[in-house]
């Protein structure tokens, strides 16, 4: 896909960024940390699926590698079109820090963000996005739109994809397959 990087390219991307927090960690350590947090996001996605919501989970981590926000998709149960996993995680972190800006943070999410969530990430000034699987319908980190690296916006977000991709994609596929089966049996 265009406009993003695979996990194997991540070390090169980090080297090219060349700032302190990145160079302190080796690419192998980054890979392990990314996988650790994506597994947590995956658990949140499973929780969403259990509630009949599209299985997407998100975790926001600060520069000390501490979780400061988490969310699972809940627009249906919350009667809230904005209640995507990423928005919930950003809101929790911003409320906790009492700051609407969240610089030096990394957002882990199981599915490539939609335009609304990518826009919120730009507003919040998050530093880095790690997502598991691309969304060919509304993906806004390179698949359909590239809002996180747009020359028209005043903030750029580093993007990494492909972490725990298979598991997160299978969770989504299974969810929609079951939903279709249910509809057909009606
Ligand atoms: Zn979204």
Each residue of 67-79: pLDDT tens digit? 999 999 999 999 9
Q: Which helix (H) or strand (E) holds 28?
A: helix 27-50
> What CA–CA distance (Å, rounded) separates 45 from 142?
22
Query: pTM (2 decimals)?
Result: 0.85
Evaluate if residue 151 carries a pLDDT over 90.
Answer: yes
Tell me how far the alpha carbon of residue 12 lies from the centroid of ligand 1, in angstroms: 28
pLDDT tens-digit series, residues 78-135: 999 999 999 999 999 999 999 999 999 999 999 999 999 999 999 999 999 999 999 9
Residue that is written with structure tokens 């739109």 in the block:
145
Output the six-digit token pair for 22: 């990145």
Whether 86 is a known active-site residue: answer yes
Tell me how far the alpha carbon of residue 129 lies from the centroid of ligand 1, in angstroms: 13
The DSSP secondary-structure symbol of 3 reads S
Output the six-digit token pair for 168: 């997160």
Q: Which helix (H) or strand (E) holds 60?
A: strand 57-61
CA distances in angstroms from 106 to 44, 67, 137, 151, listed in the order given: 17, 10, 24, 21
CA distances in angstroms from 23 to 5, 63, 108, listed in the order given: 18, 13, 20
């Amino acid at each position: 896909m265009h406009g993003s990087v695979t996990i194997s390219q991540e070390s090169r991307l980090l080297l090219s960024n060349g700032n302190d927090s990145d160079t302190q960690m080796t690419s192998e350590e980054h890979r392990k940390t990314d996988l650790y947090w994506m597994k947590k996001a995956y658990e949140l996605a499973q929780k969403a699926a259990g509630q009949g919501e599209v299985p997407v989970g998100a975790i926001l981590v600060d520069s000390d590698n501490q979780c400061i926000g988490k969310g699972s998709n809940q627009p249906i149960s919350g009667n809230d079109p904005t209640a995507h996993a990423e928005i919930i995680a950003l809101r929790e972190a911003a409320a906790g820090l009492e700051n609407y800006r969240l610089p030096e943070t990394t957002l882990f999410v199981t599915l490539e963000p939609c335009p609304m969530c990518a826009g919120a990430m730009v507003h919040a000034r998050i530093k880095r996005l790690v997502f598991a699987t691309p969304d060919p319908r509304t993906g806004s980190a390179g698949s359909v739109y590239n809002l996180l690296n747009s020359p028209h916006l005043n903030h750029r977000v580093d993007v990494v994809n492909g972490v725990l991709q298979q598991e997160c994609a299978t969770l989504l596929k299974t969810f929609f397959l079951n939903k279709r089966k249910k509809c057909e049996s009606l």
